[in-house]
Copies of this chain bind each other. A is one copy, B any other.
């Protein structure tokens, strides 16, 4: 017959709603713009998938809001992807004794768990790769953001430059979006002396980065070797194919959810974390032999 048990009543009885909140700390200005980023799109999808597989459903929350604005949702935990520095949301959540899952910036705090990328190793590998391709003066194009990954990327880049006795060439991108990033790339490539390597951390469509170099009359990789931090599949189809550093959103989601679920299930307040290694996909844009 057509009987369907009442899910809410079961949840009340069980004492758990099997619901996990998901917020992105970045892009506070445009609360949902983060889905336009291939990285966050993948991360969000993979997180949903992993949650479902563990028997939890994911509730999408708008970036830049506080716990009190959706306090009437029975969330067992909240995932805060890429929080900004001293994110008030993280504090709010922790104060409300709601388990938080985020990146390494919450490491050590009670009720907080995390997964993150080994930024230092990733930046070092990328810059070493550019150097191996002949780039002696690699420039960095970085979003002007206080995300842990971006802060650490800048620090790692500076350390690398110091180690190699190379002056730093950093162009900050004020806002997300293809337009601003392309302008920053052009700016970086027209500096004097011109960089012979480019590490584009700000998210942009890789074909557009190639277009920018072409417009300036620069050959990639002969004149400038390029690596983009990107999950955008179009990198492989660009002309030339663009080397990418993948932050492995699918694996981050997978590993993170396993950790979160065991923490929830074990009722563990003991903070735990996992560190993953980024993956460099070398393509033609960075491979050059003199």
A residues whose Cβ falls under 8 Å from a Cβ of B: 2, 4-12, 17-19, 31-36, 38, 41-42, 44-46, 48-49, 52, 57-62, 70-75, 96-97, 177-179, 182, 205, 207-208, 211, 214-215, 232-234, 236-239
With CB as the reference atom, state the residue of chain B lying closest to A179.
B237
* Neighbouring B residues of A239 by C-beta, 8 Å: 211, 214-215
Q: How far is B8's CA from A118's CA once the two chains are assembled, in angstroms?
A: 39
Residue of chain B at shortest CB distance from A51 = B60
| Docked CA distance A12–B57 (Å) | 18
A32 in contact with B45 (CB, 8 Å): yes
User: Chain B nearest CB: distance from A184 CB in Å?
Assistant: 13
Question: In the complex, what's the smallest C-beta–C-beta distance from A29 to chain B, in angstroms?
Answer: 13
Shortest 7 CB-CB distances between A and B: which pairs? A32-B45, A207-B207, A7-B74, A205-B234, A35-B41, A48-B60, A35-B45
Closest to A231 in B: B36
- Whether A49 touches B73, Cβ cut-off 8 Å, given contacts A8-B8, A207-B234, is no
How many chain copies does the complex carry? 2
Bound form: Cα–Cα A33–B233 in Å: 12
Shortest CB distance A54–B (Å): 13
Given the known interface contacts A59-B57, A208-B207, A239-B215, the answer about A45 and B73 at a Cβ–Cβ threshold of 8 Å is no
Q: Do A208 and B96 touch across chains, with their CB atoms under 8 A apart?
A: no
CB-CB < 8 A to A44: which residues of B?
35, 60
Shortest A171–chain B CB gap in Å is 17
Excluding A7-B17, A11-B12, A211-B239, 4 further A-B contacts by CB distance (< 8 Å) are A2-B97, A49-B62, A214-B239, A215-B239
Judge whether A8 and B12 touch: CB under 8 Å.
yes
Q: List 13 A-B contacts (CB under 8 A).
A: A2-B97, A5-B72, A7-B73, A11-B12, A11-B72, A12-B12, A35-B42, A44-B60, A52-B61, A57-B73, A211-B237, A211-B239, A214-B239
Query: How many whole Å from A167's CB to the nearest CB in chain B?
Result: 30
